[in-house]
Amino acid sequence: MNTPSSSPENSPSLPVLHEEQSLSLEQRIAELLAANTAVVLLTIVSTQGHVARKVGTRALCTQQGFDGSLGGGLFERRVQEEAQRCLETGESCLFSYTGADDAGRGERHVLCEYLSPACQSLFSFAADLKVESGRGAWMVDITQPARPLRSLVLSTPPSPLPQDWQELLFAGMVRADALLSTKILQKNGGKAFLQKDKDTECYFEPIAIAPVLLICGTNAEARATAALASQCAFTIDVVDDQPQFLSKEYFPSARTLRHLPGMDGLLSAMNVSHEHYVVIMTENYHLDRLILKQLLSSRAAYIGMQGGRQKRVEIFAEMRALGIPSTELACVRCPVGLSIGAETPHETAVSIVAELLAARAGTLKHFRSLEK
């Protein structure tokens, strides 16, 4: 391990890359490797003390610059320097930092993993796994830090399987081991962890499936919300009963664009499940009511509806008249978004996405209590 001193220096950090943020990190790596670009994947594999970023935080380094953040401060500048050395030598290393700076006070260990073009198909496979909501985990044997061994342990493979599936299996880069995958996913609360045995040291990282944000509607606020949410790692699906704005021109980051006249059969058409985050933004009172009625039986993770408090009162009264209990309506957020005084479409998007992030992190109840 390389252990730098923690005394401040004025060495500048590398330039930060500005790439399309809607791509998963795995897809970004796959594209870089396909273009024969040398890549170093930086992963915080263990920490001790009070630090800014948790185990599992990742960033990339290429000759063009640094993409992502491990917490900033002198610590990050040291990591960038080490990553540059890995690019020059074509070898990996386990970098250790102890000290206090803007990124925290404590000990951090970062795997600086040099990735060769031979890894391209593996990262492309992992990217497909995320998109298709497969389940699995990364396993990286770092017993020999200069030559880490990375593989993907699958619980549920993506469907359809990629053409090079058998090649990856044969090379040992992918392992179809549901039992091991389940153990990894359940250990440490589903978070990344480092496991040290007598003779080995392995880092495990569950594959984080991007949550799906279903936007019902295509108005200006919907378009701004889709753009911002995609940058915050949401997979974007859009549905509307009017087709004119359902295009990549207006929703470049969307995975699915669906024209659904009358919004009938929404749940089956968009495969809505308890893992979906849904925002209703059609600007049509009748459609909003029909959509909400369907969503209340979906048990979606989050349901938000655009509109004022009077709209909430009226639609909720209609829902209760249909026999829908108030306890089910309580899960619907209307007006949608945190109360930040938003006026423009982009400001509205900030309020909505902030609320989605709070819902995903389990802190929305706290923010709601502040609004009372």
For 247-303, the DSSP string reads: STTT-TTEEEEEE-GGGTTHHHHTT--TTEEEEE--S-HHHHHHHHHHHTTTT-SEE
User: What domains can you pick out in the chain, each with its CATH number?
Assistant: 25-206 (no CATH), 212-371 (3.40.50.720)
- What is the C-alpha end-to-end distance of the chain, expressed in Å? 52
Stretch 16-22: mean pLDDT: 41
pLDDT score at 12: 38
Question: pLDDT: is 145 or 191 the higher one?
Answer: 145
In this structure, of 1-5, 33-37, 111-115, 256-260, the range with the lowest mean pLDDT score is 1-5
pLDDT score at 275: 80
pLDDT greater than 70 at residue 18 = no
pLDDT greater than 50 at residue 17 = no
Cβ atoms within 10 Å of 199's Cβ, excluding its own: 6
Stretch 360-371: mean pLDDT: 72
Alpha helix segments (H runs only) across the chain = 25-34, 73-89, 120-131, 165-170, 178-186, 220-231, 266-269, 285-295, 309-321, 326-329, 345-361, 364-371
- Is the Cβ–Cβ distance between 63 and 38 less than 8 Å? yes
Share of the chain above pLDDT 90, in %: 57
∠ CA 346-351-357, nearest 5°, is 120
pLDDT greater than 50 at residue 306 = yes
Stretch 274-293: mean pLDDT: 92
- In the beta sheet, which residues pair with residue 139? 151, 204
In this structure, of 23-27, 165-169, 184-188, the range with the lowest mean pLDDT score is 165-169
pLDDT greater than 50 at residue 3 = no
How far, in Å, CA of 217 to CA of 166, rounded?
A: 41
How far, in Å, CA of 123 to CA of 25, rounded?
A: 9
pLDDT greater than 80 at residue 278 = yes
pLDDT score at 19: 37
Question: pLDDT: is 309 or 92 the higher one?
Answer: 92
pLDDT score at 180: 81
pLDDT greater than 50 at residue 202 = yes
pLDDT averaged over every residue in the chain:
86
- Is the Cβ–Cβ distance between 270 and 213 less than 8 Å? no
Q: Of 2-6, 11-15, 24-28, 366-370, which one has max mean pLDDT?
A: 24-28
pLDDT score at 105: 82
- Is the Cβ–Cβ distance between 210 and 24 less than 8 Å? yes
Q: What is the pTM of this model?
A: 0.67
* Burial group, residue 134, by CB count within 10 angstroms (0-12, 13-18, 19+): buried
pLDDT greater than 60 at residue 369 = no
Closest CA to 60 of 32, 35, 88: 32
For residue 11, name the pLDDT band (cuts at 50, 70, 90): very low
